[in-house]
Amino acid sequence: MSRIRVVDMSYNYGDGTPALNRVNLDFDPTHHTALVGPNGAGKTSLLMALAGLIDAEGEVLINEIHLENKTKEKLRTEMSFVFQNPDDMLFMPTVEEDVAFGLDTLGLTDSQVREHTAEALSKVSLSGFEQRSAHHLSYGERRKVCLATALARQTSITLFDEPTRELDPQGRRNFIKLFNEMEGILILATHDLELVLETCSKMVLLDEGNVICSGDPKTLLADHQLMVDHKLEVPHSLTKHPHAH
Amino acid sequence: MNHAFLDRYATLESPLHRLPASIKMLFTLSALGLLLLVVPFVSHTWGWVLIITYAGLMSLLAIISRVPLTFLLTRSTLVLPFSVLIVVVNYFSGNFSFNQMLITVSKSLLSIFAILLLISTTPFNSILKQLSRWGASRLMIIIFSFMYRYFFLLVGEIESLEKAVAMRHSSLSGWKRFKTYANMVGMLMIRSFDRAERVYQAMQMRGFTGDLS
Amino acid sequence: MHIPDGFLNPAVSVSTTAISAAILAGSLRKVNQQVEPQQIPLMGVLASFVFLIQLFSFPVGAGTSVHLSGALLISIILGPLSGFIIITIALIAMALLFQHGGIFSLGANALNIAGVGCFLGYGTYRLIPGDRVSIVIAGLITGLVSSALLALELYASDMLDLSAGLLSMLSIYGSAGLIEGLATLMIVLFIRKVKPEIMGSMV
C-alpha cells in the first residue's frame, strides 16, 4: 500500500514569510484527505512540496523513498497533480494530445497511451472532444480535461489544488462523483467546505503554515470556535436550523 | 483590439477543408511563387491575363470553401495602406506607369487573399504538424503551438489591464500615459514569465524533462 | 513595417530569405544546445507576448500610436539568439494569421525587424555605457537601420526611388525606433523594479 510521510517540513515564500512551519503529516489510501485553511495557510505550498515542485526543508517520503532531486522524476510517475488553473495544464494543440502528454514516460506503449486517453476522456464524459483545442472549450470542460489528464495516468497518488473553484454547480457535482470513484491517495486543497464533507474522510486544518489539527471533517468543521479562529465558517449543512429562533 | 479572427473559419466543412494540409500549403506556395515570379517579367497584357486567371481561380476556391467572401475581401484590404503608399509614390516619381501601379496593387491583394484562403481552410495546428513532418525544428514547432495556445489568454489579460487603467485614469495624457502603457506591457511580460513557470510545473508533473524528440 | 508579398523581386526575396534562414539555423542550434527545460514553455509564452504587443497600439500622444516590434525588449530580457527565434516566429504568425507581411517577404521582414532589432539592438545596448541611454540609442539605431534596409530592399526591387524613399523611411521609422527605445527602457525599468530575476536569462 502506498504511503506519504511528511517530516518536519518548512518552507518560506519568496518574501520570507513562512508558508509551512515544521509540518508533520501522514497520508495513505484509507482516507481521502482535505487540506483546509484560510488564504496563505500553506495548502498549495504543501501540495507543491509533496510533488517536489518547490524545495522545502524537511523530508517527504513516498513509499519510504526520499523525495529529492535524484528521485523526483521517478516518484512523479506515481503521482498526478490537478492544478488550480486549467490553462496552465492544457498546453497542447488538441485535447487528446493534452491527455496523452507524458503518458509515454510512464512506460506505456502507443496503443496503451491511446487506450488510457480514450478511457479517461470517456470517464469525464468528453468522448468526441479528442480533436478540439483547449482554448475553444468552456471553463467546465477544460476542468474536466485536466481531470482526465490525471485519470489517464492511473497513478496511486493524486493531488488537487482547488478543484472546484469557479465551477458551476453541475460541474462541481460531476467532480464530486468522479473524485469519489477514484482510488489511491487523494489529497485536495480547497476552500469549499461542503466539498470536504462530501468527499473526504480526513481533514487537515492549516493556518499560517502550521498544522492546527487533523481528524474527522464532520467533527472539526462543526466546531464553531475553531472555524472562527481560522477565518473559516461552519458549512451550512452542519448548522442546525440557524434561523429557528 | 480586434482579435476574433485568426483562423476562425478553419473548422468549417467543405471539400477544401477536407484536403490534406500539405496539398493546400504546397498549392499556396506555388501559386504565390508563380504570381510573384512571372508577372514582373511578362508584358502588361500577359500580366493582366495571369492576374485575372489567378483571381478567377482564387474566387472559385473561395466559393468552394464556404468561407464568407466578405471576410476574405475585407481582410485582404489590410495590405492596402502599404501597397497604395508605395505605388502612389512610384507613380508620382515617374517610376511606375498607371498600369504598373494597378498590377502591383492587384498582385499584393491576391497574395494576401491566397494566404487567407489557406489559413481559413486549414487549422493552424495542422499547418504546424505538416511543417514538423517536413522537418521543421522541434523547438520552433513547440514555440509556435504555445504561442497560438496562449495568445487568447494574453489578449484577455491585456484587455483587463487596459480596463483597470481606464477606470482609474480616465484622462491620462502625454508622458504619463506612455509610462502607464509601458508598465502595463511590463506587467504583461512578468505575467508571461509566471504563466510559463506554472505551465512548466504542470509539464514536469507529467514527466517532461526537456526532451524535444 | 512588414513588407507584404508582391513588392520584392525574386533576387531580393531569395537573398534575404537565405540570410535570415542562416541566422535562424545558427540561433536554433545554439539555443537547442543550451536551453533548459523550463525555458521551452517560456519561449512559447513569450512568443505569444511578442505577437500580442506587435498588434497592440502603443499610444504616443497627439492621437497617434505605434506598434512595438519587441525585438530589443526580448533580446535584453532573454538574449539576442532566443530573441531572434521568438521574433521570427511572431513574424511568421503575423503573416499567416494577421496578414501583416507575406510569405516570400518573410526573409526580408525577419532580417529588418528581428535581425536588426535583436543583434544590432542588443549589441548597441551592451556596447554603449550607461544602460538607460544605451537602450534609447539602441532603439533609435535599430529604427534607422531597419528602415534603411527596408528602403534598400525596395529600391533593389525597383519599388522605391532611393533618395526620396530613404529620407522619408528614415524619418518615419527613425522616430518609431526612438519611441521603441523609450518604451523598451520604461518596460525594462519596470521589470527591474518588480521582478529583476528574469533579466538576461537566456542566450
φ and ψ of B125, to 5 deg: -65, -30
User: How large is the average pLDDT for residues C173-187?
Assistant: 91
Based on the domain organization, do A132 and A100 belong to the same domain? yes
The Cα of B52 is separated from the nearest Cα of chain A by a number of Å equal to: 38
Q: A240 lies in a domain? A: no
**Matching residue, cell 483562423:** B7
Closest residue, chain B, to A48 (C-alpha): B201
Q: A242 lies in a domain? A: no
B201 to chain A: which residues are within 8 Å by CB? 48, 53, 81, 83, 88
Cβ separation of A105 and B198 shorter than 8 Å? no
For C1, which DSSP code? -
User: Residue B193: how many CB atoms within 10 A of its CB?
Assistant: 18
Q: Give the three cell numbers for residue C169.
A: 523611411
Residue of B149, B205, B209 lying closest to A91 (CB–CB)? B149
Residue of B148, B152, B207 lying closest to A105 (CB–CB)? B207
Based on the domain organization, do A122 and A186 belong to the same domain? no
In angstroms, rounded to a whole number, what is the distance separating the alpha carbons of residues C191 and C203?
19
Based on the domain organization, do A169 and A72 belong to the same domain? yes
In angstroms, rounded to a whole number, what is the distance separating the alpha carbons of residues A172 and A54?
29
Based on the domain organization, do A164 and A73 belong to the same domain? yes
Indicate the residue among A113, A137, A154 that finishes a domain. Answer: A154
Contacts of A56 (CB under 8 A, 6+ apart): A9, A10, A11, A20, A45, A49
Given CB atoms, is A154 within the 8 Å cutoff of chain B? no
Segments forming the whole domain that contains residue A120: 86-154
CB C71 within 8 A of CB C142: yes
φ and ψ of C8, to 5 deg: -110, 140
| ipTM surpasses 0.90 | yes
Beta bridge partners of A80: A158
Sign of CA dihedral B114, B118, B124, B126: negative
Based on the domain organization, do A139 and A186 belong to the same domain? no
**CATH of residue A44:** 3.40.50.300
In angstroms, rounded to a whole number, what is the distance separating the alpha carbons of residues C186 and B107?
41
Number of domains, chain A: 2
Indicate the residue among A154, A170, A199 that finishes a domain. Answer: A154
Closest residue, chain A, to B127 (C-alpha): A93
Domains of chain C: 10-198 (1.10.1760.20)
C4 to chain B: which residues are within 8 Å by CB? 79, 82-83, 108, 111-112
The Cα of B58 is separated from the nearest Cα of chain C by a number of Å equal to: 16
Residue B132 carries which side chain, given as an amino acid letter? S
In angstroms, rounded to a whole number, what is the distance separating the alpha carbons of residues C76 and C93?
22
In angstroms, rounded to a whole number, what is the distance separating the alpha carbons of residues C71 and C26?
18
Based on the domain organization, do A178 and A71 belong to the same domain? yes
In angstroms, rounded to a whole number, what is the distance separating the alpha carbons of residues B80 and C173?
19
Based on the domain organization, do A173 and A227 belong to the same domain? yes
Q: A238 lies in a domain? A: no
Given CB atoms, is A92 within the 8 Å cutoff of chain B? yes
Given CB atoms, is A81 within the 8 Å cutoff of chain B? yes
Q: Which pairing describes strands A185-189 and A157-161: parallel, antiparallel, or unpaired?
A: parallel
Residue of A77, A88, A105 lying closest to B202 (CB–CB)? A88
φ and ψ of B211, to 5 deg: -75, 120
Based on the domain organization, do A128 and A97 belong to the same domain? yes
In angstroms, rounded to a whole number, what is the distance separating the alpha carbons of residues A123 and A99?
12
User: Residue A9: how many CB atoms within 10 A of its CB?
Assistant: 23
Based on the domain organization, do A168 and A129 belong to the same domain? no
Based on the domain organization, do A94 and A127 belong to the same domain? yes
B184 to chain C: which residues are within 8 Å by CB? none
In angstroms, rounded to a whole number, what is the distance separating the alpha carbons of residues C55 and B184?
15
Cβ separation of B209 and A92 shorter than 8 Å? no
Cβ separation of A93 and B125 shorter than 8 Å? yes
A51 to chain B: which residues are within 8 Å by CB? 205
Cβ-in-10-Å burial (0-12, 13-18, 19+) of A152 comes to buried
| pLDDT at position B3 | 45
Indicate the residue among A96, A120, A154 that finishes a domain. Answer: A154
In angstroms, rounded to a whole number, what is the distance separating the alpha carbons of residues A159 and A49?
11
Based on the domain organization, do A52 and A117 belong to the same domain? no
Residue of A51, A83, A103 lying closest to B198 (CB–CB)? A83
Q: Closest by alpha carbon to B72, among B82, B81, B88, B60?
A: B60
| pLDDT at position A151 | 96
Question: Which CA distances in Å does A222 have to A30, A218, B182?
Answer: 23, 6, 51
Which of the two residues, B155 and C106, has the higher pLDDT score?
Answer: C106
Q: What is the pLDDT along chain B (213 residues), one digit of tens a residue?
A: 344 456 788 888 999 999 999 999 999 999 999 898 888 788 888 889 999 999 999 999 999 999 999 999 998 998 898 889 888 888 888 888 899 899 999 999 999 999 999 999 999 999 999 999 999 999 999 999 999 999 988 988 888 888 888 787 666 677 888 888 899 999 999 999 999 999 999 999 999 998 876
Q: What is the pLDDT along chain A (245 residues), one digit of tens a residue?
A: 789 999 999 999 888 889 999 999 999 999 999 999 999 899 999 999 999 999 999 999 999 999 999 999 999 999 999 999 999 999 999 999 999 999 999 999 999 999 999 999 999 999 999 999 888 899 999 999 999 999 999 999 999 999 999 899 999 999 999 999 999 999 999 999 999 999 999 999 999 999 999 999 999 999 999 999 999 999 999 887 655 44
CB C28 within 8 A of CB C82: no
| pLDDT at position B2 | 43
Based on the domain organization, do A145 and A162 belong to the same domain? no
The mean of the pLDDT values for chain C is: 91
Contacts of A196 (CB under 8 A, 6+ apart): A34, A36, A190, A203, A217, A221, A235
Q: What percent of chain B has pLDDT over 90?
A: 58
In angstroms, rounded to a whole number, what is the distance separating the alpha carbons of residues A117 and A140?
19
Q: A120 lies in a domain? A: yes
| pLDDT at position B170 | 63
In angstroms, rounded to a whole number, what is the distance separating the alpha carbons of residues A64 and B203?
25
